Amino acid sequence: MFRLLKHMAKQLVKNKNNSQSSETKEKLVPFPAVRKNLTWFKQVLNDSDDLIIREFSNADLAGIEGALLYLEGMVNNDIVNNVLLPALLRDDILIHSLGETEPAIRKDQIDKEIVPVGGSKLVDDLHAALLSLMSGDTLVLLEGICQIYVFETKGWKERETAEPQSERIVRGPQIAFVEKLTINMALIRRRSRNPEITFRKMNIGNESKTDIAVVYHRKKVRQQVLNELLHRINSLNINNLQDSGMLEDYIKDNPLSFFPQLQYTERPDKVVASVIEGRVGIIVDGSPMVLLAPAPLAVFFQSAEDYYENWQFGTIIRWTRFLAAFISTSLPALYIAIISYHPELLPMRLAFSIGATRLTVPFPAFVEALLMESILELLQEASIRLPQPVGQTIGIVGGLVIGQAAVQAGIISPIMVIIISITAISSFVLPAYNFNLATRLIRVPFILSAVFLGFYGLVLAWLTTLAHLCQLKTMGASYMEGITPFSKKSLDTLIRTPKRLTGK
């Protein structure tokens, strides 16, 4: 009964969404009179001050002959002022509106004289024209024609391409994506001239009307993954989309999991390499981060630099990342389990040394760990929010000063400061920031498991985590792909195989 009611509720919501979308997409043909069209645009935009309207007419004609509309700051003023307006004000074009001349004659003349100036199209829907206007295009309305000319005149200021900020490498391409969709698509094309790489553009957001592009290799893409991704994107009914991170939250498989199920990158070379491997990229206009799907666990331990350096060095670094992930998640819990439940596992001298440092500490080990973890998180967040020169100083000096002061005050033992410092450094070794966040979050449940059950609790926490990873999906594919079951991909997960052997 519950399932039936749930299914009925979903159908009602789906029907409501479909009716709403059909209402919003209802076609509205432009009026023959220019002034009526201008009134409609002013009402829809609430007579906004950034709406620029330039009316033009023939000297021998009473009333306006046409109008040009654009949004201030969204267009290239040189194209509008030096190309469009002079062409529209020519007498041999405007004269066709005098007397009983057919509008079709004027339309043919405009198609011949103005349209070749740049990219343009002719629309017969006011809603479509409004969307183009909001996207930075210029509209031309002409008396007696129930269609609107749309000229591509986008010209707002964009950030120049620069070096990657979150994925810096020593050797390799030093260029990153920007916030403009077309530039990011061009950066991908520049890295690979293969005609099999295909882009599919869509529009998401009832309010924001954000453009996105899905990029994939037509022959190598896994069709099941591509179909699932397109289905999830097309099923979205959201109002606002400002960044790829928001889209990731809507389309990932398990929203309750700590672990990232989509990979993001600001490097064009990484996107091209992933697409050639058969994965799918998602570019969101306004975001410099491109999503990659599917994103199994293994890809979060790989860096672009692995494939630009010697394969032996890349393999050692990859093993180091696996070790860093284990230390980042388990070292504080391991220390608490040994101190609280299994001190006999320590050598005698080490046990006496640790015991001597803890004589004046009033708190148990897990309280120390949670206190130091909280201080570490505060320092990391402060260093991110502050200006870069000040943030680096706060992160380093603040950690040294607070740690030293806490030890001298007898609140924290020196060994705990060392444990938390090693843990923090290990988390920074991981190349993916979203996976780094996952290890920071899962650290607390591991500590609590060790507090209550010692080694048994820590083992139980690891088994629970592994069981969760094994059943987790990423765009319908297994999250443990490349690790289990063992295949050729598993070899590249453990070592960075030489290119001569793989042939890639």
pLDDT of amino acid 465: 93
pLDDT of amino acid 4: 33
pLDDT of amino acid 469: 93
Helix (H) and strand (E) counts in the chain: 19, 12
Residues in contact with 286: Cβ distance below 8 Å, sequence separation at least 6, in sequence order: 179, 181, 210, 242, 243
Model pTM score: 0.80
Q: CA nearest 363: which of 408, 416, 405?
A: 416
Q: Report pLDDT digits (tens) over 383-415.
A: 777 776 666 666 666 666 777 788 888 888 888
pLDDT at 5 over 60: no
Average pLDDT, the chain: 81
Q: Report pLDDT digits (tens) over 192-233.
A: 888 899 999 998 988 888 999 999 999 999 999 999 999 999
Task: Say if residues 171 and 309 touch (Cβ distance below 8 Å).
Answer: yes
pLDDT confidence bin for 109, thresholds 50/70/90: low
SS3 114: coil
pLDDT at 18 over 50: no
pLDDT of amino acid 110: 58
Q: Chain-centre distance of CA 400, in angstroms?
A: 35
Q: Report pLDDT digits (tens) over 158-194.
A: 777 788 888 888 888 888 999 888 899 999 998 888 8
Dihedrals phi, psi of 62, to nearest 5 degrees: -80, 135
Token couple for 218 = 């037509």
pLDDT of amino acid 9: 37
Q: CA nearest 291: which of 222, 257, 230, 245?
A: 245
Q: What's the mean pLDDT in 241-253?
A: 91
Q: In what order do the strands lie in the sheet with 51-56?
A: 51-56, 66-71, 138-142, 148-151, 120-123
DSSP 141-199: EETT-SSEEEE--B----PPP---SSS--SSS------S-HHHHHHHHHHH---TTEEE
Q: What's the mean pLDDT in 289-296?
A: 93
CB atoms within 10 A of CB 434: 17
Q: Report pLDDT digits (tens) over 83-105.
A: 777 777 765 555 444 444 444 44
Q: What's the mean pLDDT in 326-341?
A: 91
> How many percent of the chain have pLDDT more than 70?
83
For residues 64 and 116, what is the distance between their CA atoms, to the nearest angstrom?
25
pLDDT at 61 over 90: no
For residues 363 and 259, what is the distance between their CA atoms, to the nearest angstrom?
32
pLDDT at 63 over 70: no
Q: CA nearest 267: which of 298, 241, 288?
A: 288
Q: What is the DSSP letter of 414?
A: H
pLDDT confidence bin for 473, thresholds 50/70/90: very high
pLDDT at 75 over 60: yes
pLDDT of amino acid 102: 47
- The residue extents of the domains of the chain are 2-151, 181-295, 307-492
